[in-house]
Structure 1
Amino acid sequence: MLGGGSFTAQNKILPGAYINFVSAASSVAVLSDRGTAAIPLEFGWGPEKEAFIVTAQDYQERCQEIFGYPADAPQMWMIRELFRNLTKGIFYRLNAGVKAACDYGQARYSGVRGKDLTLVVSANVDDSTKFDVRTLLDRKEVDHQTVAAATELTDNRYVVFKKDATLAATAGMPFNGGTDGDAVTGEDYARFLAKMESHTFQTLCCPSMDDAVKAVFAEYTKRMRDEAGVKFQTVMYRNAGADYEGIISVENKAAEQEQGLVYWTTGAQAACAVNKTNENRVYDGELTVDVDYTQGQLSAGVRSGKFMFHRVSDDVRVLMDINTLTTFTEEKGEDFSGNQTVRVLDQIGNDIASMFNTKYLGIMPNDDAGRVSLWNDIVTYNKELARLRAIEAVEAKEITVGRGNSKRSVVVNCPVTPINCMSQLYMTVVVS
């Protein structure tokens, strides 16, 4: 019998055909999706002290199940502001209070929203030994079960039933005692930030007005960007002194909630494409924006690193898509103050790191062939960015991948020039 099968080394004894089937190496040029933000909330419903993910589709189809309120409820304004642009939100409820309850059940989550629940128990018209148990929220039915005893009840999205209760007909048993809990502290925000270290997002929302909390968010952003290599930007209210490309400081007040514009800005920044800018973008939210600024104040605000809105005819628009970086160095010039530049560089950093970690780390040998493969992937990725007009075209020969100081390391040099959208027009008209 002849030998056969696959081979690792050319050391077979028997004659035969030894054939390996492998896929041709393919270059990757996949840009990671944008549109994800991390948001801490003080709310009257929802999972307490844990992260939960909501996509734009979830929000559209199951808003009340998730947040406890329909999308058009007054309590939902900040969620609406976010999802005008957001494709995915990583939410975290900061507060935890008391769960509302009645004799037959307890609200699934703590908060004042639980007090809007009512249970209605009535005899079943077809079987007198059974009961119809209806869960109402704002007097609208959200669940209906027919059971012989409480032990048969299945917990629903809003109520955890008391299985040891004795069912009896009732016209309506309201829930009582639900509270939102104590005021949120800096510790609550710190726990939120710790939870976010295991998630991936483009923007982080800081809705707090407390300077100490804003300082914690700023330090967290710097540590994650500069030490952990996790690239995102944090949106907060009036902290232009941060002087850092990772911090966006919203300057304008909103009448409904002073710092309310951080929510729309968080969503808009997260969802902005790598080859786009938010500059001159129309604010399409529902807040009343204070745009009472002179041209001099707007110019001074831009020089100070403030993200500002201004009025153009009947519209409220973003003045310039900038962050708080105002101190420029040889390593970080003025270009780094523009969020479009930062978006491009962050996208490259995150995508190349992801590609290396999934395709090369612990998998690809660090030899000439392995480094050529990595070089080819990086070149292909940069060509895709150039095709999207996010960066200037890169000469392949300018990108280098070499062996590092150890057998396990590689050193990559990848010069890029981000492209920005047109912002200023200087034109001379010669009249003859």
Structure 2
Amino acid sequence: MALGGGIFLTQNKVLPGVYHNFISAARAFVNLSDRGYVGLPIQLDWGPDGEVFTVTVEDLQKDSRKIFGYDYTDSKLKGIRDVFKNAITVYFYKLAVNAAAAQNDYATAKYKGARGNDIKIVIQANVDEPTKFDVQTLLDNVVVDEQIAVASAGELVDNDFVIWKDTATLQETAGTPLSGGSNGDEITGGAHQEALDALEAYGFNTLGCLSDDPIIKSLYIEYTKRLRDQVGAKFQLVGHKLGNADHEGVIDVQNDAIGEDEEVFGAVYWVVGAQAGVAVNKSNTNKKYDGEFTLDMSETQTQQQLTALLKAGKYVFHRVGEEIRVLEDINTFTSFTVDKNEDFSMNQVIRVLDQIAIDTANIFNNRYLGKVPNDKAGRISLWNDIVRHRQELQALRALENYDKEALTVEQGNSKKSVVVNEVVVPTVAMSQLYITTTVA
């Protein structure tokens, strides 16, 4: 090609021809980040070891046996089902101390835990090729894998439940169970710390504390405060009877679970999902409890009890007729000041502020960090994106009366820093009605 062409940065070309730049028109890049994400360290009989694993509600419904070792309807999964009544994605970490994987002469369970003891291997001679074998893997006497006409163990392909021993000698057996699987010793604070360390790399809206140990609960509270206040991670902790946490990032569920074989902190499963899944412009105040745990109402019967609990920053379920509902969508922050008033005790306000923090960081990190010059034009572009984002929140009625003229985007003390100042007014759902009716 004799003539010049292509794109140009400056007008310094030598050859004659057409140099053409295609540039996207400026437009808003202000998608709101999704909600519905939960971080959850949890004791399990089955599941990936020593790592965070991601499960969606679709995964749970389709592959619960493969992921957790039980059918979706099994009572062992009722807490997990409660989480997913409102959550869309959960980052699980299986808590374990000295757990062991079950095994027999032919295979080792894919994961550590007691559920591996319910696996058995059935080996039969193949009908068409008697010198070869048909090998089945059964879980609770249900076939979960079958491999036909296998000549040796070396030909077997690992499945979702077992890892085969390549050197094993295949022999016919009506069913050889795996044994020795164990959930290990009592869960320690160290196991919880490992889980929290692993989860630190993930982004989620809520973190669940499934423990009644005061020391472990304190670990979760301090972890949450550190990540929110020092690292900038925006999530809320949900736990049961956490004590005097006094922090907007901590939600303290008051009601005990009292059903047969239920963990006392059973309500946490439902709350951690409900708080993650609620939209930025919605509240869980008066939300109906549809979880599977039986909740104790003895501490939340009278107005005097409820008033005291609300003043103490407790997240409370109470009975309304035949239904159980959330009294107020609040957190544990109670030490109100002029700079930090009672608005910060409302979870709906915190969700809006967290949404602003997360989305503004995404806008800056994805569009501006290391890409846009810190000059007047660059700062005007950032100002426009922030305004569009806040206007989107206002359209959702998560904010009100946003004044874009009060938003300033200026150069900071160094040439690479930008300083933003603004005023936002989060909206909250109605929860109190005062009526004066004049009768003529």
How does the TM-score come out when normalised to structure 2?
0.96
1:341 to 349, 357, 376: 349
Shift of 1:129: 2.0
SS at match of 2:231: coil
Alignment of 1:10-409 (within 5 A): 10-96=11-97, 97-146=99-148, 147-255=150-258, 256-292=262-298, 293-409=301-417
Structure 1: distance between partners of 2:252 and 2:93: 22
2:377 aligned counterpart, secondary structure: helix
2:244 counterpart SS class: helix
Distance 1:415 1:152, change over 3 A: same
Unaligned runs of 5+ in 2: none
CA drift of 1:331 comes to: 2.2
Give the drift of 1:330: 2.2
Distance 1:79 1:273 in 2: 21
Q: Deviations over 1:76-121 (max 9, x none)?
A: 1211111111100000001151111111111111111011011100
Letter in 1 for 2:281: N
Note the residue ranges of structure 1 that are not aligned, 5 or more in a row: none
**RMSD (Å), alpha carbons:** 1.2
Name the SS for the 1:101 alignment partner: coil
**1:56/1:86 contact within 8 Å kept:** yes
Q: By how many angstroms is 1:399 displaced?
A: 1.4
Using the aligned pairs only, state the percent identity. Answer: 51
Q: Is the 8 A contact 2:30 2:363 kept in 1?
A: no
Letter in 1 for 2:346: G
Contact 1:240 1:304 in 2 (8 A): no
Contact 1:218 1:234 in 2 (8 A): yes
Measured after TM superposition, the shift of residue 13 of structure 1 is 4.2
Q: What one-letter code is carried by the residue in structure 1 that aligns with 2:45? A: G
1:377 positional shift: 0.6
CA distance, structure 2, for counterparts of residue 126 and residue 13 of structure 1: 78
Partners of 1:67 and 1:31 lie apart in 2 by 32
CA offset at residue 355 of structure 1?
Answer: 1.3
What TM-score comes out, normalization by structure 1 length? 0.98
Larger CA deviation: 291-300 vs 273-282: 291-300
Aligned equivalents of 1:152, 1:287: Cα separation in 2: 46
Secondary structure, counterpart of 2:359 in structure 1: helix
User: Which residue identity lines up with residue 289 of structure 1 in the other structure?
Assistant: L
CA contact (8 A) 1:240 1:306 kept: no
Give CA deviations for 1:231-283 in whole Å, capped at 9, x if unaligned. Answer: 10000111241100000000001112211111110000000100000100010
CA-to-aligned-CA distance 1:197-228 (integer Å, 9 cap, x gap)? 11000000111111111111111111111111
Residue aligned with 1:20, SS: coil
Give the secondary structure class of the aligned counterpart of 1:212: helix
